Amino acid sequence: MSRMQKQRNDTGVSPQTFSCTSTSNQCVQDWSRRGRRGFLFITLSVAILVAVAAVQLACGGYSAGSSSRPNPAPTPGPATFPSFSHVFLVVEENHSFTDVIGNSSMPYLNSLASKYGLAKQYFANAHPSLPNYLMLTTGQMETFDDNFSGTIGDDNVVRELVSAGKTWKTYQESIPSAGYLGGDASPYVRRHNPFSFLSDVQNNTSQAANIVPFTQFSTDLAGNSLPNFSFIVPDLNNDAHNGTLAAADSWLQSNIAPVIASSTFQNGGLLIIIFDEAELTDLDHGGGQVAAVIVSSNSKTNFQSQTAYQHQSTLRLVLEALGVNKFPGEAATSPAMAEFFNGH
């Protein structure tokens, strides 16, 4: 959320101005009539103005005719990341940071948070779910309607990955079939599948084929055929939406622990586990404070970040980690998450 700030004059001095007639003789005569004191005052004023202008130019100050507002903060440039070949993003549901971190019902996730990186000031963007999933893929919230059924043509993670020659899949637990673009089929829900709304997917059958059931994930892992980017979504029973936090943690341990142990992950994998939003009563930064855990062999150990992040920073991280330096929507100006890795 942007905030407007008023400018103020920190010198505490009001600018002084003076004028004279169009010829230098008339100016001299006018100064003479004012007397030596007036002449000295004006001479001193001119000297001060010249000195101030010189300091402004030396310090890169604004030029004549430019606004008195300071230049805006520069857009963050590409951060320096380790080289990653595979990025895995797992999205859980509807629990605040304090529900998750330190909760004995989630021993596996907490073990990862303790061993690797934990974002302690990470906030969802909104309520309900869909705008958060869309922020993770387009860098914009797009809609606040969980029943949205339209098409989104804005720039997005698929477009940028494909343009950069990278591969992707979303592994959706309990989805009816590969390439499915239809509505809810509980415990699968479309609002947790942001790719199904993207024009790049809806209008291209080869891209739609990258929406696959989660059962395909173990096959791809075993066959060393995982894409560069895996967007992993448990169904309502296993993402802590309908089920318990304990059930969600058990699912993570069963399905994610083998990934971390794999040579694919150890030789260039990055895992991000986040919650889409907090409880509806938590409106901090729009969607409340949530847990975000960053895992890789290049991660700092026992690291806890105090930097404020939201989902657009995760989108930026996904792309930067894979060497893509064009970021959709708000990801372009969001804080980079390079601090989680060794060397930063």
pLDDT digits (tens, 9 = 90+) for 289-319: 999 999 999 999 999 999 999 999 999 999 9
pLDDT of residue 78: 52
Q: What is the pLDDT of residues 322-339, one digit of tens each?
A: 999 999 999 999 999 999
The pLDDT score that the predictor gives to residue 57 is 36
Domains of the chain with CATH codes: 22-72 (no CATH), 86-340 (3.40.720.10)
Does residue 26 have a pLDDT over 80? no
Q: Which pLDDT does position 314 carry in this prediction?
A: 99
Find out whether 158 and 168 touch, Cβ atoms under 8 Å.
yes
| pLDDT of 194 over the 90 cut | yes
Phi-psi map region of 126: left, alpha, beta (phi>0 left; psi -120 to 50 alpha): beta
Tokens representing 30? 């006018």
Backbone torsion region of residue 177, taken as left when φ is above 0, otherwise alpha when ψ lies between -120 and 50, otherwise beta: beta
Alpha-carbon torsion angle 320, 324, 326, 327, nearest 10: -40
CB atoms within 10 A of CB 132: 27
Say what the pLDDT of residue 343 is: 82
Strand, helix or coil for residue 279: coil
pLDDT at 83: 86
Does residue 43 register a pLDDT over 70?
no
pLDDT score of 162: 99
- For 244-287, the pLDDT digits (tens) are 999 999 999 999 999 999 999 999 999 999 999 999 999 999 99
- Helices assigned H by DSSP within 59-106: 97-100
pTM above 0.85, yes or no: no
pLDDT tens by residue, 100-129? 999 999 999 999 999 999 999 999 999 999
CA dist., res. 252 & res. 255, Å (int): 5
Mean pLDDT, the chain, whole residue set: 84
pLDDT classification of 68: cutoffs 50, 70, 90:
very low
Amino acid 20: pLDDT: 38
Q: Which pLDDT score, from 0 to 100, does residue 17 have? A: 36
CB 298 within 8 A of CB 112: no
Q: What is the C-alpha to C-alpha distance for residues 106 and 253, in angstroms, rounded to an integer? A: 10
Beginning with the edge strand found earlier in the chain, give each strand of the sheet holding 86-92 in spatial order: 211-213, 168-172, 229-233, 86-92, 269-275, 292-296, 117-119, 303-305
Stretch 198-212: mean pLDDT? 99
Concatenated DSSP letters of 202-253? HT-HHHHTTEEETHHHHHHHHTT---SEEEEE--TTTSSSSS-HHHHHHHHH
Residues 6+ apart with CB under 8 A from 205: 179
Flag whether pLDDT at 98 surpasses 50.
Answer: yes
Whether the per-residue pLDDT at 41 is higher than 70: the answer is no
The pLDDT assigned to 81 comes to: 76
Do residues 140 and 311 touch, judged by C-beta distance below 8 A? no
Asked if the model's pLDDT at residue 56 lies above 60, the reply is no
DSSP letter, residue 197: G
In this predicted structure, the answer to whether residue 216 has a pLDDT above a threshold of 60 is yes
pLDDT tens profile 123-176: 999 999 999 999 999 999 999 999 999 999 999 999 999 999 999 999 999 999
Residues 105 and 249: beta-carbon distance below 8 Å: yes
pLDDT band at 79 (very low <50, low <70, confident <90, very high): low
C-alpha to C-alpha distance for 157 and 170, rounded to whole angstroms: 12
